[in-house]
Every structure is written in C-alpha cells, then in structure tokens.
C-alpha cells in the first residue's frame, strides 16, 4: 500500500502538468486567433474606408457636374483666352470636382470635340494639377482631428434634400462630402488601431531602405506610380501614404517619393481615356504626362534640398524618429502643392514648346482613313463626363450632316455623268456613303443611349431625346440620297431620256433642296440665330405642280409612261427629302 501511494501521486502531478500545458497552448492559440481576427478586421476597415473615400469623391464630383451643367462647360470653353486664364480655369474646375483626373478627362473630351485647342488644354491641365492639391489638404485635416463628428448633420441634411426633388443634386453633393469625410476619419482611427509602429517586422522593412539613396527614392516613386495606376485614384494612394507616414513606419523621404509617383500614375488615367480618341485628344493627354514627368525630374535632381526646405516650412525634422502626425500630414500636402505650383510656374511659359513636342511625338493620321473608319469626336472607349458628352455628340452630328451634304452633292454629280464607268464608280461611292451613314447613326445613337444611362440633369435628358430624333432624321436624309441614286441608276439601265422640260424642273427641285440642306446645316451649327425659310412649302408646291404637269404630258404622249414614272419617283423622293430636312430643323430649333 505504501509503495502504491507515491506512484499515484506522480500520476496526479503529471495529469495536472498536462492540463496546465494544454491551457497555456489553448490560450496562445486563442490569442493568436483573436489577434489575427483583429488585424483582419482592421485591414478590412482600412480597405472599406478607401473604397468609401473613392466613392464619396466620385459622388461629389458627379453631383457638382450635374449642378453646374452647362455653366461648367462654358467655364472651360470660355475662360481659356490665354495661358493664365487657362491655368486659373483648370484650378477652379479641379477644386470644384475635386479630381484632377476628372478635370483632365473633361479637358481631353473638349479637345476631342474640337472645343478647345491643344494649347488651351495644356494650360487647363496645369491648373487642374494645382487645384487637385486641395484634396491633400482636406485629407490632412482629416488626419488632424476627428472629422467624422461633422458628417452626421450633413447626412441628415443630404437625405432631406434628396427627397426634395428640386434640390436632389445638392443632396448628392452633401452625401459625397459626408462619405469622403467619414472615410478620412475612419482611416485616421484605423491607422491608429493598426499601430504599425509596434510591428517590428514592418518597421524593420521600411527602415531597411537607405533614405539617403536615390535608388530608394526611385523605387518608391515607381511603387507609387504602379499602385496609382492599379487603384485608378491618386486620392486613395495619398490617403494610404498619410496613414503610413503618420503611424511612424514610413520615413518622410519615402512618403514624398510615393507622392511623386502618384502624380505620374494619375496622368495615365487621361491617357487611357484618350486611347481611342482623335489625335489632338491623345496629344492633350500626353501633355499631362509630360508636365508631371518634367516636374518629377527636376524635383529628383534637387530632391533632398527641396524636401528639407518643405520640412522646414512645416516644422518637421526629416531625420527624427519621433514626429508629430499632424505636421507629417501637413508636410505631404505642402509638398504636393509646392511641387505642382512650381512646376506650373516653370512650364506655363513653355506651352508652345510643349505643344510642338507632343505633336512631334504623336503624329496625325491620314485624314481620309480617319474619315472613313471612325467618328471624329466621340468614341465608345473614351472615359466620358456625361454632361460634356452631349457636346461631343452635337459636334459629331454636324460632321454627320456635312457627310450627308457631300453625299447629296455626289447625287447631283451622278445625274450629270454620261460615261458608264464614271457613273458606276460614283454610284458605288454613294452606296459606301450610305453604309457609313447607317454606321454613324448607330454609333451616335448608341453613344447617346449610353450617356443617358448616367446621372444627368433633366434638361440634358430632354436634349438627348431630341438629339436621338435628329440623328434618325439625318440618317433618313442619307437614305433619301441613296434612293435618288438608285432611281438615276434605274433610268440609266432602262436607257430612258428625260424631256428638256423635265430636266429643267429637276434643276429647280435640286436647287431648292440644296438651299434647304444649307439652311439645315446652318441651323444645326447656330440654332440661336436660326431664321426659318419657307423652303419646305416651296418644294412641296413645286413638286405637286411638276407632277400635275407630268400627268398632262404623259397623256399628250410627250414621253412614255415609263419615263414619267421615273420622273415622278424623283419628285416624290424630293418631297421625302425635304420632309426629313424639315424634321431635323424643327428638332434643333426645339432644343435651342
């Protein structure tokens, strides 16, 4: 019995030891799971806040564009009389829409639509780069205090205004601002919760880079560029940079290198937008890239003296391990502003040289090829600003009308051609133009339909509905031209010969149709100065009179019934042609 007791005690002790080991392991596992869950939640909060920031800025930008509507278009179109006003215009618009990418895409759209010259666009883009720096200052404010306290009243007012239909755009704007501020506050709080400065591995990773090496600066510049291209938002990358810098893990030198990379990355948005645009639009987008690359080059040359000067302005010691987070966020915003302002002050005097350079790099394409195979002002691939897209469509419709006019002139030439080969060639050319007109109607109609799916003002939606009618009627004018050509081809194949009186009457009808088509083109281009002529009534009256004469002449056997039928078909087509033209004019005057 006494020999058994020690063995029993050992078993009890061993069991208790195993229990303690199990509990220790379980505690470590639970702590590991809890820590990982906490980190995952923080990361998801960080990513969600970035998504909310991008959404808020997009909502605010779209709401401002809808509120401004034509006024914003007039600002860009009218306030670019010289390079200084162009820069000022770009600043105002970028501050309004809070996105240099949106302003640049908008500017490229204007160049694509022929509303801005390349030199004007370059000055506007320079100003946009300055205006967008306000975003960095707003973010800096968000990292300075708990800005989320301001958003709740704005949400309340915003939803109230949205339900008041007359003020819904202002409500959308307030919602966008609220989401943006809420995201900034969440980023600030989440950055502190993440406590990256306590994670030695992350700290060691960033400190492993030599801040005094240009290779490190170039590496972080490249990282900033790539991440901005991937995220398609320099604002999101600026927010991440501020989180990293204010948390104490990213040295200020690397942070500012990321900011420079963001400036290059954001230019690629407009270049992607202009890939399917016309040559001038490509040049405008490329000029934006040239502007920022030039700025990055001279800042890299003077990087350390320039950064040290910025740090002195904001009271930051770039070599210190402990920094005031508020001052660090101000330093990033100050660097972004001084970089763009200085770059603009240097390059504003070199706009003609920049224009020559981008024209030399991006050469123009063959005009004939461009005319046949593509639209001139709108492309399905371009990133559109919806309100401005209406102007592009209007410009394209002018080209459409000019093309139909050329087609009508070919019909008049076809009528006078006697040589069989020349006639066949012209007839084939008119047929190709008819196919082009069908394609143009389909492309413009699809473009307007796509634009109408965006958030637009009621006036713009009404314009799009009317423009769709115009496009359809212009295409009908093209169909009528082809019908004329087919009738002349039938006349030639049947070897019918018109009486001199018939030719004289057709001369009169085609003369009136020519005048009516010219009136349509004038009204399409200048609807505010339109003066309606009574040509439609004159054409109808003339055609009816000619048809009555034709009935008498056939009865009098001046020419055969078959010849009279071809003649009447031409007169009937003339009446249809005039009706389509009148419909276009009525539609355009109705939206003027």
- Return the SS3 of 557: coil
Q: How far is CA 350 from the centre of its chain?
A: 26
Strands (E) in 154-241, as ranges, are none
Predicted confidence (pLDDT) per residue in 321-365, tens digit: 666 667 777 888 888 889 889 998 998 888 889 888 988 888 765
Predicted confidence (pLDDT) per residue in 140-184, tens digit: 766 665 666 677 777 788 788 877 777 777 787 777 777 777 776
The DSSP call for residue 300 is H
Phi, psi of 398 (to 5 degrees): -65, -40
End-to-end CA distance of the chain: 114
Write out the two tokens for 550: 């034709």
pLDDT in the model for residue 503: 92
C-alpha span between 119 and 84 (Å, rounded): 12
- Residue matched to tokens 């009738």: 487
Write out the two tokens for 111: 């160049």
Predicted confidence (pLDDT) per residue in 86-110, tens digit: 787 777 777 666 566 666 766 776 6
C-alpha distances (whole Å) from 291 to each of 80, 287, 340, 512 are: 18, 6, 10, 53
- Residue matched to tokens 């920022």: 292
C-alpha span between 217 and 224 (Å, rounded): 11
Q: In 10 A of CB 443, how many CB atoms? A: 18
pLDDT in the model for residue 251: 81
Please, which residues have CB within 8 angstroms of residue 257's CB and are 6 or more apart in sequence?
216, 217, 218, 219, 220, 221, 224
C-alpha span between 271 and 292 (Å, rounded): 13
Nearest alpha carbon to residue 295 among 275, 318, 271, 267: 267
Nearest alpha carbon to residue 509 among 475, 482, 547: 547
Q: How many helices (H) and strands (E) does the chain have?
A: 23, 0
Write out the two tokens for 106: 């908008």
Model pTM?
Answer: 0.56
Q: Which residues of the chain have pLDDT under 50?
A: 1-2, 4-5, 32, 367-373, 380-383, 592
196 burial class (0-12, 13-18, 19+ CB within 10 angstroms)? Answer: middle
pLDDT in the model for residue 193: 61
Asked whether the beta carbons of 401 and 519 are under 8 A apart, the reply is: no
Q: How far is CA 431 from the centre of its chain?
A: 35
Nearest alpha carbon to residue 420 among 492, 496, 499: 492
Asked whether the beta carbons of 84 and 124 are under 8 A apart, the reply is: no
pLDDT in the model for residue 348: 87
C-alpha distances (whole Å) from 505 to each of 76, 499, 567 are: 50, 10, 10
pLDDT in the model for residue 242: 78
Domains and CATH numbers, the chain: 28-361 (no CATH), 372-591 (1.20.58.220)
pLDDT in the model for residue 504: 93
Rg of the Cα trace of the chain?
35
């Amino acid at each position: 019995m006494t020999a058994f007791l020690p063995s029993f005690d050992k078993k009890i002790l061993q069991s208790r030891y195993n229990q303690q080991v199990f509990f220790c392991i379980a505690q470590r596992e639970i702590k590991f799971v809890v820590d990982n869950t906490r980190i995952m939640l923080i990361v998801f909060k960080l990513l969600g806040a970035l998504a909310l920031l991008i959404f808020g800025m997009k909502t605010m930008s779209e709401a401002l564009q809808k509120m401004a509507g034509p006024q914003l278009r007039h600002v860009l179109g009218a306030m670019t009389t010289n390079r200084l006003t162009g820069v000022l215009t770009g600043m105002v618009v970028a501050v309004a829409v809070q996105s240099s990418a949106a302003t640049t895409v908008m500017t490229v759209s204007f160049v694509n639509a022929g509303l801005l010259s390349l030199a004007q666009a370059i000055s506007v883009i320079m100003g946009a780069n300055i205006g967008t720096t306000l975003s960095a200052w707003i973010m800096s404010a968000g990292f300075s205090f708990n800005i989320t306290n301001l958003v709740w009243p704005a949400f309340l007012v915003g939803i109230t205004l949205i339900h008041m239909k007359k003020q819904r755009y202002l409500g959308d704007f307030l919602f966008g601002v609220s989401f943006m501020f809420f995201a900034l506050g969440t980023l600030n709080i989440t950055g502190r919760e993440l406590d990256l400065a306590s994670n030695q591995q992350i700290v060691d990773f960033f400190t492993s880079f030599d801040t005094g090496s240009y290779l490190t600066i170039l590496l972080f510049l490249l990282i900033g560029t790539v991440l901005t291209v991937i995220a398609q938002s320099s604002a999101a990358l600026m927010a991440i940079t501020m989180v990293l810098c204010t948390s104490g893990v990213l040295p200020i030198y690397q942070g500012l290198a990321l900011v420079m990379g963001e400036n290059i990355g954001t230019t690629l948005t407009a270049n992607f937008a202009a890939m399917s645009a016309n040559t001038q639009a490509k040049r405008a987008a490329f000029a934006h890239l040239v502007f920022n690359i030039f700025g990055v080059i001279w800042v890299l040359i003077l990087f350390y003296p320039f950064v040290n000067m910025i740090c002195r302005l904001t009271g930051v010691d770039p070599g210190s391990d402990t920094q005031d987070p508020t001052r660090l966020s101000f330093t990033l915003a100050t660097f972004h502003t001084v970089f763009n302002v200085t770059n603009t002050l240097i390059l504003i005097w070199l706009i003609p040289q920049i224009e020559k350079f981008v024209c030399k790099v991006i050469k123009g394409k063959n005009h004939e090829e461009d005319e046949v195979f593509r639209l001139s002002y709108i492309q399905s691939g371009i990133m559109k600003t919806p309100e401005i897209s209406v102007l592009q469509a209007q410009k394209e419709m002018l080209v459409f009308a000019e093309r139909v006019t050329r087609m009508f002139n070919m019909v008049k030439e076809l009528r006078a051609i006697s040589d069989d080969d020349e006639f066949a060639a012209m007839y084939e050319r008119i047929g190709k133009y008819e196919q082009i007109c069908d394609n143009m109607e389909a492309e413009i109609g699809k473009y307007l339909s796509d634009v109408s799916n965006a958030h637009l003002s009621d006036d713009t939606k009404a314009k799009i509905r009317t423009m769709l009618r115009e496009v359809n009627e212009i295409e009908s004018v093209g169909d009528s031209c082809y019908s004329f050509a087919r009738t002349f081809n039938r006349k030639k194949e049947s070897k019918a010969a018109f009486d001199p009186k018939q030719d004289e009457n057709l001369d009169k009808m085609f003369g009136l149709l020519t005048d009516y088509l010219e009136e349509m083109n004038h009204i399409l281009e200048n609807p505010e100065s339109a003066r309606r002529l009574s040509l439609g009534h004159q054409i109808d009256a003339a055609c009816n009179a000619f048809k009555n004469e034709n009935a008498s002449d056939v009865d009098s056997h001046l020419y055969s019934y078959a010849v009279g039928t071809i003649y009447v078909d031409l007169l009937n087509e003339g009446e249809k042609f005039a009706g389509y033209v009148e419909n276009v004019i009525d539609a355009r005057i109705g939206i003027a």
